[in-house]
Amino acid sequence: MAGQVLRRHIGRVRYEPADRVWFAALARLLPRRRWTEIFPVTPATLLTWHRKLAAAKYDTSGRRKPGRPPKSPSIARLVLRLAKENPLWGYRRIHGELTKLGLTVAPSTVWEILHAAGIDPAPRRSGPTWRQFLHVQAAGRPARLVGQRDWWDRSHTVTVQFVGSHARRMLRLTC
């Protein structure tokens, strides 16, 4: 009876989160049939508090930042090093090499790192020209005569020789 009078005068008791934690912790230690004797709340309320307490432990939404995670400085250094040591590689090739190394990075991230450093992501950097490239390739593989065709008319003979190498095809006309 005294409890009823007190409840009428005080009104509804509002428990703080710390009180709820204590009740939920005690509930784990006591058998469920004794809850009504000990706790001033219903078992359903106590179970709800316990569920919220357990959910709050595993809730990571407050720890997460919105947006993409920041770029790792070590990956940025590696991207710039690969770009400087291999001037003909573009951002896609660098991305492929990083993937082979087991690093997870998007091609667009590699592009952004190169662009921010002032390096052209799709190179026309200081590399060999086509003339230099073909010269090096031709020097590495000797050319050989692939075929020859002769035509003649009354005044002169035309010989067409097909000279080929692995890197290019060349047509030589002799009159």
- Decide if 117 contacts 80 (C-beta within 8 A): yes
Lowest-pLDDT range of 11-25, 28-42, 125-139, 155-169: 155-169
DSSP annotation of 160 reads E
* Average confidence (pLDDT) over 149-155: 65
pTM: 0.38
d(CA 83, CA 93): 10
- State the Cα angle at 145 between 142 and 148, rounded to 5°: 165
Judged on CB neighbours under 10 Å (0-12, 13-18, 19+), 53 is middle
d(CA 49, CA 114): 52
Q: Tens digit of pLDDT for each residue in 56-105?
A: 888 877 777 777 777 889 999 999 999 988 888 889 999 999 999 999 89
